[in-house]
A and B are shown apart, each in its own frame.
Chain A
Amino acid sequence: MTVAPQAPAGVELTDPNSVIVTVDGIAVRVPKGALVIRVAEMMGIEIPRFCDHPLLDPVAACRMCLVEIEGQPKPQPACAIPVTDGMVIRTQRTSEVAQVAQEGVMEFLLLNHPLDCPICDKGGECPLQNQAMSAGSGVSRFDLKKRTFPKPISISAQVLLDRERCVSCARCTRFADEIAGDPMIELLERGAKQQVGVGPDEPFDSYYSGNTIQICPVGALTSADYRFRARPFDLVSTPTTCEHCASGCSLRTDVRRGVITRRLAWDDPQVNEEWNCDKGRFAFRYTTEGRVDSPLVRDGGELRPASWPEALDRAARGLAEARGRVGVLTGGRLTREDAYAYAKFARVVLGTDDIDFRTRVASDEEADFLAAHVAGKPMGPTYADLDAAPVVLLVGLEPEDESPIVLLRLRKAARKSGTSVVSISPVRTRGIDKMNAQWWACRAGDEASVLRRIGQGEDTHLLEQLRSDGAVILVGERMAAVPGALSQVAALAADAGARLGWVPRRAGERGAADTGALAGLLPGGRPITNAQARAEVAQVWGVDPNSLPEGPGMTTQGMVNEVLADHGRAESDQARRFGALLVAGLQLADDPRADDLRKALDEIPFLVALSTHHNEVTAAADVVFPVAVVAEKAGSFTDWEGRTKAFSAAIHGAQTSTDGRVLAMVADTMGVSFGTGDVSALRSELDTLGSWPGARPEFAPRDAAEAADLTLATWRLLLDDAALQEGEPHLAATARPTEALMSATTAQEHGLGQARSVVISTDRGSVELPLRLAEVAAGTVWVPMHSEGSDVLSLGAAHGSRVRVSGGAV
């Protein structure tokens, strides 16, 4: 927007895409087609509104934003009128017509409103309340009976609806329909009886339902969880970045007396726009429950609370003893700074390159893929690239479950920009329909060969699209489980010239790869085997390059194998390949090798755990240090795009330290110079290091393996048994059902034509789940990976594994 110094008469347009309009006497040049309400906003002129929302299609229903436009006989809704050249607009500031119209509408809106602000959650942050003050009268002239409804009804376990307060702006129903693609709430009835509601037997169990609470301009939609818990003016708000997945949402955390009371989506036009998912919004109770609140040391077989000096001393001694023979497992949920601290601590303090952030399904192929294509790479493809892409090919990625904002952006791209989405997936999911995507049915485990065939031109249209400018391929976590899949993805992207994005599930994975929490990789994607890379890092770390471990070290799999092999082969602790493990916050059960991991933790002579919560790892540890949860510390996350978003602590004065600070203290105790471990210090080191522009190790393609006759397809649902969702009953009640999916044909072939439930077995055991026939690729049975009763990881199975099925008892 440019403010033109004078009235538009005779002004020559320099940009054919701009027009000159006058608002309240001020002439401005603005983009052609911009809505009047947006133009006024840009000028700092606030036109009151309810139904208008910049991310929803205009409806002009509430009529609050009426303004006077010269030449129009009637006041016009600013939210729905695109500006045209020479348009003269007068808002309520300069037009009596507009002002009177707005006052009239406000009076109408309050007619049937209960005015129960004193007991309303929205009070204090309510657009209706605020605008009633600015455009309303202090006294009502309505002396008749108000329309009443029974007070709140549940439209889902976590969203309550108070129909008396509703002003029928339809923001919520439009959000559900347009943005989320979950039209499970609708306007019902008509006229003055019109109300929001759900249909028979179908609650508003959308993964995005919480957004409707946030965009409701009155107190009609409230959170079951937050209801009556706080007043907005009692809350201390801190912007943050969501810790739940790699979508990278900006959020706002609201804290009351040191406790989180709610979280809201915050505005980041580049990333989450103004939305988030219900997990990001509602899952924060974990921050208070089951916490490790003091250092612990093992004493005669039992863990007991210990002083920091005692714990530090124990840890320092144990680690020093095993120096060079310590494995480091960081998990995928650390902030970028903390992951970096482990990466540095491993190389400098422990003298090892045996470090991995992956305690989930993983492979060496994936590690090589990350080194070649992900770690330390510049940002991109980005969300904006999805919008602009002619085609987005999804490989082994269910964005609605695994990166929900990616789903929203792909849906938007498909609806607004004509992006075509193709999903190579074993199941035709609701998400696929939401993106209006083409479903490429693919038996779990067959992805590599499907990709090869696409590269060979099996679908010429798709290949052509992938070759066009801006094409994007996104690959998900589970492709680590399919031999050859990541090799084929990389090859296809390279051949077609498409941009390639890796979308991990956990918020810290990209940051961990970038900062060197993976064997073979120093920070910034530097190969540990490259002399220059070593020199650069050594300089920043102030150490001799030769003191850095040679590398490449071992990944989780290698470490576990060696620890188990040490059993029986090592004659003394000193003779063991691994004398100690340093483990950060992670869940053993997330890994199909969980049994081996458990054995390894039992076997290892010395185990140090840094953990927010008590869990299986802390129970096995010799020394445990409490560390801060995300809300208690500053840090940053790098989302799937490679975009790093920093945040500060939302809860101030928490008696917890970051992992980096604890590691620095351990290093100090060991007498090794490490620095302070402060977030700012770590961050500035990372900035100094930057990205590695040099050559990367060749990514040696792996062969595809033949998929078995019947394979397991699996991924984690957004809402499941995860540790970070503990203590959230309302959220859990909206999770999707735990059920197995098969095609009718495959079920028939396995004698399950009439079965109501199915038993899925491997050599390790079995799980039984209700069976639903659905659109599933032949030869595959899909189950949620980690929902209650469906812990297929405990079977040692991963996506693409061979499984057996039989009819269940139910």
Chain B
Amino acid sequence: MEVTPEVRSQMSEIIDRYPNSRSALMPLLHLAQSIDDEVTPEAMEVIADALGLTTAEVAAVATFYTMYKRKPVGRHHIGVCTNTLCALLGGDAVYDAVSERLGAGHDQTDVDGTFWLERIECQAACTHAPVMTVDWEFMDNQTPASAVDIIDRLARGEQVQSTRGPVIRDFQATEHTLAFPVDGLAGEGGEADDIMLAGLTYAREHGMSAPAAPGGDA
């Protein structure tokens, strides 16, 4: 992890968010992954030094959370949810297709190290099953074919839009967002989709609404 003056000032900015500097550890590890595509031992030393911690204290945290990787992720992180609901609604088939396409298994990269594949746990998008993520951006309602198509397009450098989020950038860009979440992309991905609006749509169509408060302005 190269600590340029810019990185140094970003680190201070993150530390300043918290009453206690140690709280900055997790966002700093995200920042580290936005600089390298992993948390390197050197990054742990840099962060330990910045926060007055031992490297063991940093490693304890860096190894606890699954999003922190200790080998290079490559350009894109591909996650396929294989928790019960997604898996049984087709996620297993999506995973198998992507795995075959990449020639990589769980927590492995493809041969040239561009794509990292991971069986991910529930992504809080069960209504949109089967769910895939690219650099942690939602790729909802996948089929094996659509998932492989996404990989192909990414491999060709084509533009791929998240189903509920911005145009895909890369893993390191997302990690930068996790460290600095006001990334100017909040407007992308637009309004709620049909699934999020399922109940509202039904209610509208059937004239249902919540009772208003007497004199209230809800």
Contact = CB atoms under 8 A, between A and B. Distances in A.
Given A183-B54, A183-B57, A184-B54, A199 B44 contact: yes
A312 B53 CA distance: 60
A199 B58 contact: yes
Interface string B40-53: 01101100100001
Interface string B41-85: 110110010000111111110011000000000000000000000
B150 to A, nearest CB: 30
Interface in A185-209: 185-190, 197-202
A186 B60 contact: yes
Nearest to A199: B55
Given A200-B44, A201-B41, A201-B45, A189 B55 contact: no
Contact of A189 (B44, B48, B53, B64): B64
A61 to B, nearest CB: 15
B54 A200 contact: no
B64 A190 contact: yes
A199 B64 contact: no
Interface size band for B: 10 to 19
A200 to B, nearest CB: 3
A200 B64 contact: no
Nearest to B42: A200
A200 B54 CA distance: 9
Given A199-B44, A201-B41, A201-B45, A185 B63 contact: no
Interface string A416-439: 000000000000000000000000
Interface residues of A, number: 15
B55 A200 contact: yes
B45 A200 contact: yes
B143 to A, nearest CB: 32
Interface string A590-614: 0000000000000000000000000
B41, B53, B54, B64 — most chain A CB neighbours (10 Å) = B54
Nearest to A198: B56
Nearest to A186: B60
A202 B55 CA distance: 7
B45 A188 contact: no
A549 B169 CA distance: 92
Interface string B117-155: 000000000000000000000000000000000000000
A198 B58 CA distance: 10
A201 B44 CA distance: 10
Given A199-B48, A201-B41, A201-B45, A185 B56 contact: yes
A231 B42 CA distance: 42
B63 A189 contact: yes
Interface in B174-211: none
Nearest to A193: B63
B55 A201 contact: yes
A514 to B, nearest CB: 41
A198 B44 CA distance: 12
Nearest to A204: B56
Contacts of A184: 54-56
A189 B45 CA distance: 18
Given A199-B44, A201-B45, A188 B57 contact: no
Contacts of B42: 200
B106 to A, nearest CB: 15
A422 B59 CA distance: 32
B105 to A, nearest CB: 18
A185 B55 CA distance: 9
Nearest to B59: A199
A186 B41 contact: no
Identify which of A186, A190, A199 gathers the most chain B CB atoms within 10 Å of its CB.
A199
A183 B56 CA distance: 7
B55 A188 contact: no
Nearest to B53: A183
Contacts of A189: 63-64
A348 to B, nearest CB: 57
Given A188-B60, A200-B45, A202-B56, 6 more contacts: A184-B55, A189-B64, A198-B55, A198-B59, A199-B60, A200-B44
Those 7 A-B pairs whose CB atoms lie nearest each other, nearest first: A199-B55, A200-B41, A186-B60, A199-B56, A186-B56, A199-B59, A188-B63
Interface of B: 41-42, 44-45, 48, 53-60, 63-64
29 contacts: A182-B54, A183-B54, A183-B56, A183-B57, A184-B54, A184-B55, A184-B56, A186-B57, A187-B60, A188-B56, A188-B59, A188-B60, A188-B63, A190-B63, A190-B64, A198-B55, A199-B48, A199-B55, A199-B56, A199-B57, A199-B58, A199-B59, A199-B60, A200-B41, A200-B55, A201-B55, A202-B54, A202-B55, A202-B56
